[in-house]
Structure 1
């Protein structure tokens, strides 16, 4: 009962804050992020371990600065999600600039299903809402343990158009069917999988558990893969979603090589904006046999 009450109060506060202009909401979010950095010991530790592993060339001071900057942006992304969930279409169109949407149209006009490859950057939800304002898509969600947040999250992701949100239990077949019916698939590839579902390929020079879902889905649906990255812009400038050119020669003959190619691309994008990757996730939790977990 207390958990539900706390959740409802948090959602109510988020709803109230979404009326603030971004020039006020953004610094409030950064302040929240600094509080999370100060008091969120477990997540701070995860982010520190991840950044230490991925950026050993940086000095200790620079890595600590990167962790703190990440938490500032994490706090921003949390509060600004209220705009995505309850803000008007016109406000979200001003908030999120979209570059390359015509590439989705071109692939669909050619009769090719589309996979939008969207790694876990902090602007992920802003990019997702911007896509749903333009297309009816299919995506997969993880059911949240908190029923209040689960309901709000699902509502926010499906408020525009006719969106198809599948649970992980719905399986590959339903996703492929939706893509073949013309729905772009907003695909989030880079979460830590179980060992039995993973291959180990390099990511920042680390042998990292990675699923081969992208090449398998692309092959099953005959789909084009379009990279899809959302950048948080400074201050009150909002977000920029960039949809890139379709990958050529993908999938190849080797799904392990395809997974390595995907990781290499994600790594390159992270290096372009290192503070905006979702570092509080335990990306390196699953290890090859005999290796200790870093967390």
Structure 2
């Protein structure tokens, strides 16, 4: 996809509130980093109190994935998770708007040799990561060191889409955005020896998934990771990021590539991906995005764990 260019249509009155909100956010993140951590903490507590539906989804996910924990322990984890989510919103703005030099001072990157070795061989890389609350800033910090393309879904709001893509792509002039449904584009990128970022940890429905165990649950798991690796003749390399508790920045770790992957068994491959997901999440459960309805697709006969979504009222024309 071509990089988004600014047009006068983005100044239409329908976008004025969005531009005002992002302008205020741009000013807010001029504050010192530790102040932003504190503000994010308060924002997360406000989200915990006000986002009832999301709170209940996260609470159900934690009960499904950590049945061994007592209710008080899970509630403590839920609170910490929403605090991390509040901080994550400000981290997204930091990733999109901070000067690159300021952002780079927070990075503690390791494991780049795994990507370098694949690039030396001219081999494409499926760079997998997870939906942690630190997702945007982790990708930005790694993007300052390595050029990688990203799977992308265009936002319906044109002004938001422009801001989001400009924010994501500014750390690497050579990076490309690949539409999420553009499988051919993804494979072309991999066959050229490029690195492409992909997150396989969400529920995209039964048509593109198989059921594989995740935290003791049968979870609909996309088969795209092994498909991309096989057809793109690529290696699969995970990376994670972690917000340091002492406020000194972020650990961004590129892990060794998955060996003997993919196999000829999509369920075995999905199971292996989910095993890695479990390991990564257990290392920092409070920073994972538990508000996603990860177990909404169920095997036949299993009850859905979440309440039905409330339908938004349509505005009268």
**Where does residue 176 of structure 2 map in the other structure?**
164
Runs of 5+ unmatched residues, structure 1: none
Instruction: State the SS of the aligned residue for 1:135.
Output: coil
Aligned to 1:51: 62
SS at match of 2:44: helix
Alignment of 1:74-153 (within 5 A): 74-153=85-164
Question: Which secondary structure state, in structure 2, belongs to the residue aligned with residue 115 of structure 1?
Answer: strand
1:95-132 deviation digits (Å, cap 9, x = unpaired): 22211112211111022211111011112111211232
1:72 to 58, 76, 83: 83
Deviations 1:234-281 (A, max 9, x none): 252221110011111111121110010000110111111111111011
Q: Does 1:270 align with 2:281?
A: yes
Tell me by how many angstroms 1:2 deviates.
8.6
Q: 1:125-152 CA distances to partner (integer Å, 9 max, x unpaired)?
A: 1121123222332111122333333221
Does residue 9 of structure 1 match 2:17?
no
Whether the 8 Å contact between 1:17 and 1:82 is mirrored in structure 2 is no
Q: TM-score, normalised by structure 1?
A: 0.95
State the Cα RMSD in Å: 1.5
1:251-266, aligned counterparts within 5 Å?
Answer: 251-266=262-277
Query: SS of the counterpart of 1:150?
Result: helix
Aligned partner of residue 105 in structure 2, secondary structure: helix
Distance 2:48 2:197 in 1: 30
Shift of 1:3: 6.9
**Secondary structure of the corresponding residue to residue 102 of structure 1:** helix
User: Aligned residue pairs: how many?
Assistant: 294
Which residue of 2 is the match for residue 186 of structure 1?
197
Q: 1:192–1:283: 8 Å Cα contact kept in structure 2?
A: yes
Q: Are 1:248 and 2:259 an aligned pair? A: yes
Aligned with 2:271: secondary structure? helix
Q: TM-score, normalised by structure 2?
A: 0.89
Identify unmatched segments of 5+ residues in structure 2. 1-11, 307-317
SS in 2 for 1:91: helix
**Does 2:299 align with 1:288?**
yes
CA-CA distance at 1:198 after TM superposition? 1.3
Q: Higher mean Cα deviation, 43-52 or 229-238?
A: 229-238
Given candidates 271, 279, 290, the residue that maps to 2:290 is: 279
The answer to which structure has the higher helix fraction is: 1
Looking at structure 2, the residues matched to 102 and 18 of structure 1 have their Cα atoms a distance apart, in angstroms, of 33
Kept after mapping to 1: 8 A contact 2:91/2:136: no
